[in-house]
Amino acid sequence: MCACWAVTWLWRAPWVKARPSRVVSLNRARYSSLHKLANNPYFDRKQLEIEITKSLRSIDWQVISMISATQDVETNFDKEKPTRVLIIEDEKDLRLDMTDVLSMENFEVITAPDGAHGIAAALSKEPDVILCDIMMPHINGYQVLKAIRSHASTRLIPFIFMTAKAERSDMRAGMELGADDYITKPFSYDEMLQAIETQMQKVKAVAESQQQRVQQIHDLVTRSLPHEFRTPLTTILGYSEIMLQDAGKKGNTEEASRASHILNAGKKLHRMVENYLLFTELSTIDVDIETVAAHLRNSQYGWAVDIQAECKNLAADYGRKQDLVFNMMEEDSPLPEPVLTKMLHELLRNACAFSKQGTPIKITSGFDTRGRYEVSVTDYGTGMSESEIQQIGAYIQFNRNIYEQQGIGLGLAIVQHLAKMFDGALHINSTPGKGTTVSISV
């Protein structure tokens, strides 16, 4: 009786009525929920008093929230996806009361009045957690649990039984079928929330553990496997060069052709392996510029000493040496030579791959009017769409079904990482069908 009076007083207080309409609507819902709780034998009376106190203390916060809402009506206070709870309970009043309480706590609630509807809702909605009564007509809670555990899509959903039967044998029967927890009627508001929170924490812990395991496997493959390729690759490259030289001395063009194919294939695989290792190194937090420069200086196979000469060598592999147009200023670059060479290497490869032979490829470098050093590569090829530019990252290739490409899509991602190391940025200006300019400014 006292509890009901307190709920009524909470609603009738004049300073509650004076608030904006959205707050009034909110309090009507809260009043309705509290009034139901006061008359429900399954909820603890002491818990109800706590809820009333919470309501009183929340008034000022709600008023402040509504003032903020006049500036941004659609403010989203909790941007995380709400936990979806399925309640399977044949007693209507309890089902509605639980819905009100969970809704006020920002849960997304789905309800079912019996076992059959509960199974259907679980399969179609795939909730995050299920609260299910045991004693229900036709299909009881044990049968519901058995059905849900038999489907792959719902097998791992946390399942909490609600029951007035508190005997150990009943609990054991539920646990043997795969129930995750038990709450005994009448239960308090906090008991219900704690049971849900406990199950969600378990789910989160399992997901994090699985993610860590996947990451460990990824790191093992990314870091270790490329190193295992290095030794046999060194042998392939070394012996193919010897074969090519010997064939040249003997004038055996057929043998020279075979050796040349082996050498070129080895170089491509070598570049792929080194890009894997470089990208992994660049992705670590504590990597420093000197380490990266040393890695590039020691690992790149057959680079020419001069940057322009190296660009010509690379373009020659694509039959594009005559297409190069240089406009590189004779100024000291703030980028270490191995870093600048690597950047141009990757940008030039893209330009050759996505433009036709006979069209120019322009390479420029120098300081702009703001004193920033800029290097750019321009081609007049297929260009890139806005969505393709947004997707630039590791392991992304564009239109491979149309344009032949070598590698795995690490090039631009590596250039982007290298630019960031020097507080620089990668810029792409592209028009589909007309061409692309990729520039780095540092």
Which is nearest to 144 in space by CA: 128, 165, 120? 120
- Which residue did the predictor score with more confidence, 230 or 321? 321
The 10s digit of each residue's pLDDT in 23-51 is 334 444 554 555 555 556 555 555 555 55
DSSP code for 347? H
Same domain, 4 and 70: yes
Number of separate domains in the chain: 4
Q: Evaluate whether residue 276 is within a structural domain.
A: yes
For residue 15 the two structure tokens come to 């300073």
- Which residue did the predictor score with more confidence, 178 or 56? 178
- pTM of the prediction? 0.45
Q: Residue 2: left (phi > 0), alpha (psi -120 to 50), or beta?
A: alpha
CB 275 within 8 A of CB 410: yes
Same domain, 415 and 315: yes
Which is nearest to 159 in space by CA: 206, 127, 115? 127
Same domain, 359 and 403: yes
Confidence of residue 218 (pLDDT cuts 50, 70, 90): low
Q: Residue 122: its pLDDT value, please?
A: 94
Same domain, 69 and 85: no
Which is nearest to 199 in space by CA: 99, 86, 77? 86
β-bridge pairing 425-431 and 435-441? antiparallel
Given a cut of 80, is residue 396 above it in pLDDT? Answer: no
Same domain, 310 and 251: no
Q: Evaluate whether residue 196 is within a structural domain.
A: no
CB 418 within 8 A of CB 407: no
Q: Evaluate whether residue 195 is within a structural domain.
A: no
Q: Residue 114: its pLDDT value, please?
A: 95
For residue 51 the two structure tokens come to 């809820």
Same domain, 128 and 242: no
Domain holding 179, by residue range, is 78-187
Same domain, 183 and 144: yes
230 CB-near residues (< 8 Å, 6+ apart): 273
